[in-house]
Amino acid sequence: MKRIEYIAHTNKSRKLKIILFVILVFAVLLEIVFLSSPKEIKFGAEELSNIKITEIAKNEKVLQAVVKRVGVKAVMEKLAAETGGGSFLDCHQGAHYIGRAAYNVYKEEAFQRCDSSCHSGCYHGAMEGILIEKGSIDFLRNLEDICTSFDGAFGVFECYHGLGHAILAYLNYDLPGTLKQCKELSNSFGFEINACYAGAFMENVVTGQGLGTAKSPHATEWLNTTDPHFPCNKIDQEYSIQHECYGMQTSWMLYLNHYNFDEVIGECYNVPENMVLVCFQSLGRDIAGYTLRKPERIAELCGKVPKDKHYYDRCIDGALNVILDFWGPGLKDQATALCRLVEEPSKRSCYSILANALSFIFLTPEEAEPVCRSFEEKYRNLCAPPR
């Protein structure tokens, strides 16, 4: 009898939650119709708790209305809570959707409301939104003005990376045309053009996987299922373009062979000789994404890579950079956790890369100091002392 009562109570509770969710969705849809200003409307935590951002993220109108009601910060925080900050479910693509919704509500102000969490997906999505709305590649210079308004190199880099995503989507996945547009950008920091290339190649692959802006695996003609090296072997052979192409290509290789890492390790030996190290670094990037940045699993999978000719080092480097990019200014000891698992002589290289990256991520040495303190004592001298 108690079991029957429990089941009845549970069913009643579920029905109540469903009713609350339906009411909330109805409310936000009404807001789409009747509210035109981006004013944030505060409402109870109970209402927000009944929304799963990961479930509504692809419903553009509903997500946009929720962003309008509670603001970008609250929606990003909810996404982080649902995904464990991206530790048990990837949140980058969800943040892309939030960024596009944020732009539709707040226009250029979205870039001030977004943050760099979830690998800066919110910024990338906002960039896609602005270029799609403006409808003209001539607006590129204005987009550059937005990118250069960020404080610090990290924000500028992520903005130009998002620009690469957006230009490719806007040009209907014309990859050569997008690379040409990237090449015309200013390059005052020395990395803006390459960041744009990288964003374009990433957008090309994730669209082939059905996750890009176009939401269709058939949107791009610059991937195929028979040649794991396409498009790198059919586009401009300029070194910087090849570097960014092969810096992403293992994602497509893994997709084709159902994430058989051993096969992709072998495939990296088949790329042009000057791209072999880049391929192994790309593999490390994919390993970090595949494992949701779990240090133990990264160490295990990169451990399959041969130790000669710095191939293993590049795998660790690629994985480490994903952790750094994912957390950005929110970085604490997440990257240190990987370096602790790396054996010498690669351990010193891991800490050196991490230490050098801190000035790129943080605006002041004081902000970087807690990360430096998380280093193993033997390697803390690699961090520049606070000025």
Q: Determine, yes or no, domain membership for 302.
A: no
Q: pTM for this structure?
A: 0.80
Q: Is residue 241 part of a domain?
A: no
Task: Choose between 212 and 177: higher pLDDT.
Answer: 177
Q: Is the pLDDT of residue 138 over 80?
A: no
In a domain, 92, yes or no: yes
23 compared with 223, residue with greater pLDDT: 223
Cβ atoms of residues 51 and 21 within 8 Å: yes
Amino acid at 4: I
Domain containing residue 43: 13-134
Closest CA to 384 of 344, 339, 354, 349: 354
Find the distance separating the first CA and the last CA of the chain, reported in whole Å: 71
367: in domain? no
Q: Which residues contact 301 (CB under 8 A, 6 or more apart)?
A: 261, 287, 290, 291
pLDDT of 106 strictly over 90: yes
**Residue 291 falls inside a structural domain:** no
Dump strand ranges (E) for the chain. Answer: none
- 175 band by pLDDT with thresholds 50, 70 and 90: very high
State the pLDDT confidence band at 87, using cuts at 50, 70 and 90.
confident
Q: How many angstroms from the chain centroid is the CA of residue 163? A: 13
Q: What is the DSSP letter of 188?
A: S
The sign of the dihedral angle between the CA atoms of 222, 228, 230, 236 is positive
Structure tokens at 213: 């802006």
**In this prediction, what percent of the chain has a pLDDT beyond 70?**
83
Check pLDDT > 50 for residue 70: yes
Whether 46 maps to a domain, the answer reads: yes
What is the distance between the alpha carbons of residues 321 and 216, in angstroms, rounded to a whole number? Answer: 28
The total number of structural domains in the chain stands at 1
pLDDT at 163: 87
- Please check whether residue 24 lies inside any domain of the structure: yes
Q: Where is average pLDDT lowest: 13-17, 196-200, 228-232? A: 13-17
Q: Is the residue at 118 inside a domain?
A: yes
Q: What pLDDT does 171 receive?
A: 87
Of 206, 216, 203, the residue nearest 255 (C-alpha): 206
Q: Give the pLDDT confidence of 3-22 residue by residue, as tens digits.
A: 333 333 444 445 444 444 44
AA identity, residue 353: I
The overall average pLDDT reported for the chain is 84
Asked which of 50-64, 304-318, 349-363 is least confident by mean pLDDT, the reply is: 50-64
- 146 and 159 in contact (C-beta within 8 Å)? yes
CA distance 207 to 212: 4
Predicted local distance difference test score (pLDDT) of residue 16:
45
